[in-house]
Structure 1
Amino acid sequence: MQRTSMGTIVSASAALVGAAALAVAGCSPSGPAAAPPPALPTLDAAVASQGTQASSTPVDPADVEELWAPVAAAATAGGYTAWGTVVDAQTGQVLLDAEASTPHTPASTTKTLTAFTALAHLDPTTTLTTSALLGADSQTLYLDSEGDLLLGIGASETTEVSGRAGLQTLANDTAAILAQRGVTSVTLDWRGTLFEGASHLSSWDAQEVGAYEGEVGPMAIDAGRTYEGANDFYSDSPARVAQVFAQALGAAGISATLGEAGEPPAGAATLATVSSATMGEQLRWMLAHSDNTLADQYCRFAARAAGAPATYEGATSTVASTLSAAGVPTEGLFLEDCSGLSSNDRISANTLVGVLKASYSGQGTSADTMRLLPWAGLVGTLSKRMTEEPAVGNVQAKTGALAEVSSLSGSVITRGGRVLLVSIGHDRVTAGALATRGRLDAFEEGLAGLN
């Protein structure tokens, strides 16, 4: 029952695995090599089939408690909190309850709530359009976008997901049409805003984590980073996109003078467009690379689709209402953002595992949440963790990391073929949570080894 062969997993994740090996936990995408965007595979039979589950070996809660004992002991000795829960996916039996109902700082495991909410309100097959519009005067060009934060230009930019939505393609197509019309020079304006309210939380800066998220808004290259893999972002991502687009137009023979952010010019007509990767593919990217900016971007998309204000407050309230509607427990839930970047966020293990349960047993697109999570030893922020059997390819989880927090939320396939839903973490590790992460990994590895 256990996945000892990597064939199915690798074929389902091949496009993303190649791009993910150098991912940095918390925010950083990786690798410049272009690749087709990954498809959204269904779960393989070991996870998706309840019938197969019926022939697997149930897990004894005493075995889980024994595996948890050293995690709890280390937390007591270190003066920090170890929390978590383990649930049998088939029966719903709780195999571990370690402060599971108490809200804790979740870090980026928050993104599982974000993905679940986005998939509940958005069509994962939808793409985002970026367009070049020409004013009636034939002198003003306007760069418009519906919110693509993974725009790329050339092989030096992140193109694994944005692919066919590259600015270079848009620039070349636009320049060709302008040349046909005899236009050789334009003033380039652009869309500067997309949502209501602030695009950055002041509490992040107070917590000294503000450098780990870019600007939510109409468009960005590589989610707004100043260079590939950076934890440093342009203060005005749309303006940066316009600057790069103007340079690309120049290389294609059209002189473009930068104007300003604003509304489309009067009588504007669309010259050329490019489409992003699908929303489902971008959500996979967000989870695999723990991209904070995309997380808050898609939370605002979901809020807008749900009829709520497209603000941080509207987005987080949409998460809470979506979970409640799905029957996920939300006692003690408090969110300032949808990325988990704020240390003021609070989520209980019961809420985290409740999202996994709703995804595992649910219908519709929200059920894709678990399918999008990274695989241990293979994908994204888990690509260099739990790289040996029995965990590699049998643990699928969203990671979380802040200075005093380490967390994991996802599923484990045991050696006996049982699917366990697991949400665990360390909180208030004043000496630094990174050093304690291995204990959480060891617990997951122990679960994977249970017969």
Structure 2
Amino acid sequence: MSSRRPHTSKRKPSRGWWVGSAIVAAGCIGVGAWLVPTASANWDQLTGADQPHPLSSSSSAPASLADLPSDAPQPTAEQVSGPLSQIAQKLGGGGTMSAQVVDVQSGKVLYSDAAEHPVTPASNLKLLTEFALLSHSDPNARYSTDAYLAQDSSSLNLVAGGDTMLADGSSEDGEVLGHAGLGTLAERTVDRLAADGVKGNLPVNLDASMYTGQAVNPAWAPEDVDSGYATGISPIALWDHHTQRPSDGEDVSHRPENAGADALKSYVDALNRAGAQHGLSFSSGSTSAAATDRDHDQRVASVESATVLEQARYMMENSDNVLAEVLGRNAAVSAGNEGSIDGAIKTVKSSLEDAGISTEGLTQKDSSGLSAGNRVTPVTLSHVIAKATQSRTATADLAETLPVGGGTGTLAGRFEGKDTSVAQGKARAKTGTLLTVNSLTGYTTTSKGRLLAYSLVVNDVKDSKAAVTALDESVARLTEL
């Protein structure tokens, strides 16, 4: 675990994060907040909390949205604006809150304060990435990593399919990280080659043509890349772009210099272990092979990831910047765009517009919110939540991937004070933290059972602890209505 903090950083999630049970489905997709390293000594003050409590599967969670009473009374605008305005005023010169609250059932805006003004969202931008992903992907589909034998049986291609959560050994059913293993792929490959009578030495090339363009986003601070909070993005990687299994969701150590090359080496090593008794040996070839000729080359083996939805939930629970960048590019490929930085950004914008969500003021630099150059309005963010909670399409699943207040992920240690505990188990939200930004976008249910979507973003933060308190108190007051 790095002792330094990056220019962009997030609050540390619990080691005990959990995800929902695996969804059994087949199918393949064709496919930190801004803190300087020297800020580590003041981390508690900047984040506004100690380490979150471990997550528990017994934590209370919001009731199913379908179970909410349809006749629950709608709060009035005055009931909402009173407490929220007072909380925003208490920040004084410590930050500027922009906010919007929407009654989901009616679509009525109950509160709006500078909500049309573009703000830096931090990791709240991940909501847009997941919305685009679920707009173009079957949530139960899986990313496939394949082995193809050349038509003349002279070489193998390891074909990247967008799964960067690969284990270096056996597949781990029931897990998200390590669900598919290159060791298992190697065993299946050797079994098929041996059955077909293939012998001798085969070079193994990597086909990573699924992604194009720059691997490292130029909008990221160099310090973030150097410290491991960001890294070059590949369509294939071990352990969520680590060289070994990370110790927890925030572990930024052991980043690979070339994730694709590491995956290829791991696969070749596993092939040689499995192939020796069959008269087969393998050597690493090109890491930039041309796109595989799927019409003529033969697929001999494959392994599949956890579902798209499970990976999205992992990304949200851990506020995983690198996985967000991967899923953004995967969304672009699924939408028929380039698997690139620009392709992912284009896909987000078109997905929002196709859903009738305003993109006015949107300036997107990445898919994770790591760049301080991102801008979005609380109008857009709150409407993403409102749309997801009302949707009859796959985007409805976004609502269930958000951390639960006082229970899971980056909200595990929030809403613990006597003034905010009412939101525990009722509010869900995506957190966001940069050196001068704290944000919270999600939904909660009132005491009468009315569903409210909210986006609360504080920019120009001088005291992160005070800003987080203001955000949590705002959500608590909404929950009390």
TM-score by length of 1: 0.82
Residues 155-183 of structure 1 deviation map (CA, whole Å, 9 limit, x = unaligned): 89997215542222212222334455464
Note closer, same or farther for the CA distance 1:298–1:117 as it changes in structure 2 (3 Å cut): same
> Aligned to 1:100, what secondary structure does the other structure show?
coil
Letter in 1 for 2:155: T
Q: What is the aligned partner in structure 2 of residue 424 from structure 1? A: 456
Counterparts of residues 22-33 of structure 1 (less than 5 Å): 25=10
Amino acid of the residue matched to residue 243 of structure 1? K
Give the partner amino acid of 1:161. V
Give how far 1:29 is off.
Answer: 9.4
Summarize the alignment of residues 17-416 of structure 1 with structure 2, pairs less than 5 Å apart: 25=10, 37=22, 47-49=65-67, 52-54=69-71, 56-78=72-94, 80-135=95-150, 138=153, 140-154=155-169, 160-162=175-177, 164-180=179-195, 181=197, 183=199, 185-206=201-222, 208=224, 211-227=228-244, 228=246, 229=248, 230-232=251-253, 233-254=255-276, 255-261=281-287, 262-263=289-290, 268-386=297-415, 389-416=421-448
Output the CA distance in 2 between the equivalents of 1:395 and 1:280.
Answer: 20
Q: For the residues of structure 1 that align with 2:223 and 2:62, how far apart are their CA atoms?
A: 41
Q: Which residue of 2 aligns with 1:433?
A: 464
| Cα deviation code 1:406-444 (max 9, x no counterpart) | 111110112221211111021122x46366323312322
Instruction: Give distance in 1, aligned partners of 2:274 and 2:341.
Output: 39
| Cα distance in 1 between the residues matched to 2:18 and 2:444 | 31
Q: Is the 8 A contact 2:159 2:206 kept in 1?
A: yes
SS at match of 1:119: helix
1:16 equivalent in structure 2:
none
The unaligned stretches of length 5 or more in structure 1 are 1-23
Q: Is the 8 A contact 1:88 1:420 kept in 2?
A: yes
Amino acid across the alignment from 2:455: S
Q: How many residues align?
A: 421
| Maintained 8 Å contact 2:99/2:111 | yes
The whole-number CA distance in structure 1 between the counterparts of 2:298 and 2:13 is: 37
Q: CA separation in 2, counterparts of 1:29 and 1:308?
A: 35
Counterpart CA distance in 1 for 2:19 and 2:394 is: 27
Q: Quick check: 2:18–2:408 contact (8 Å CA) kept in 1?
A: no
Cα distance in structure 2, aligned partners of 1:325 and 1:294:
24
Q: Do 2:171 and 2:180's aligned partners in 1 also have CA atoms closer than 8 Å?
A: no
Distance 1:135 1:207 in 2: 42
Residues 367-402 of structure 1 show CA distances to partners (whole Å, capped at 9, x for unaligned) of 222222221223222223235742221011111122
Change in Cα spacing, 1:427 to 1:155, as seen in structure 2 (3 Å) is farther
Q: Separation in 2 of the partners of 1:404 and 1:39?
A: 42
User: Contact 2:407 / 2:413 at 8 angstroms: preserved in 1?
Assistant: yes
1:446 equivalent to 2:462? Answer no
Partners of 2:84 and 2:20 lie apart in 1 by 40
Of the structure 1 ranges 149-158 and 432-441, higher mean CA displacement relative to structure 2 is found in 149-158
Of residues 198-207 and 142-151 in structure 1, the stretch that sits farther from structure 2 once superposed is 198-207
Q: Measured at CA, do residues 33 and 395 of structure 1 come closer, stay the same or move farther in structure 2, by a change above 3 Å?
A: closer
Whether the aligned pair in 1 keeps the contact of 2:13 and 2:412 (CA below 8 Å) is no
Helix, strand or coil at the partner of 2:156: strand
Q: Which amino acid in the other structure matches residue 263 of structure 2?
A: V
2-structure distance, mates of 1:379, 1:38: 20
How far is 1:339 from its partner? Answer: 1.3
- The separation in 2 between residues aligned to 1:398 and 1:33, in whole angstroms, is 16
Shift of 1:146: 1.1
What is the CA-CA distance between 1:109 and the residue it aligns to? 0.8
Structure 2: how far apart are the matches of 1:46 and 1:265? 44
Root-mean-square deviation (CA, aligned residues, Å) is: 3.3
CA–CA separation in structure 1 for the residues paired with 2:187 and 2:88: 59
When structure 1 is superposed on structure 2, of 244-253 and 27-36 the one drifting more is 27-36
Single out whichever of 226-235 and 151-160 deviates more from structure 2.
Answer: 151-160
Paired amino acid for 1:47: L
Offset of residue 293 of structure 1: 2.4
- Name the counterpart of 1:10: none
Structure 2 distance, partners of 1:179, 1:32, is 42
Identity value in percent: 33
Partners in 2 of 1:305 and 1:158 — Cα distance?
Answer: 25
Q: How big is the shift at 1:36? A: 5.0
Q: Name the amino acid aligned to 1:279.
A: V
Structure 2 contact 316–430 (Cα < 8 Å) conserved: yes
Provide structure 2 residue ranges, at least 5 long, that are not aligned to the other structure: 1-8, 26-60
Cα distance between partner residues in 1 of 2:79 and 2:13:
36
C-alpha distance in structure 2 between counterparts of 1:238 and 1:409, whole Å: 34
User: What are the superposed Cα offsets for residues 74-133 of structure 1, whole Å, 9 maximum, x if unpaired?
Assistant: 43232x211211122222332322211111000111111111112112222222111223
What's the CA shift string for 1:278-333, capped at 9, x where partnerless? 22222222222222223222322333333433332232122222212222122211
Separation in 2, partners of 1:93, 1:32: 35
Q: Secondary structure at the match of 1:369?
A: helix
Q: Which letter maps to 1:345? A: N
The alignment partner of 2:127 has SS state of helix
**Contact 1:394 / 1:412 at 8 angstroms: preserved in 2?**
yes
CA distance in 2, matches of 1:75, 1:33: 34
**1:234 is matched by which residue type in structure 2?**
P
In 1, Cα distance between equivalents of 2:384 and 2:19: 33
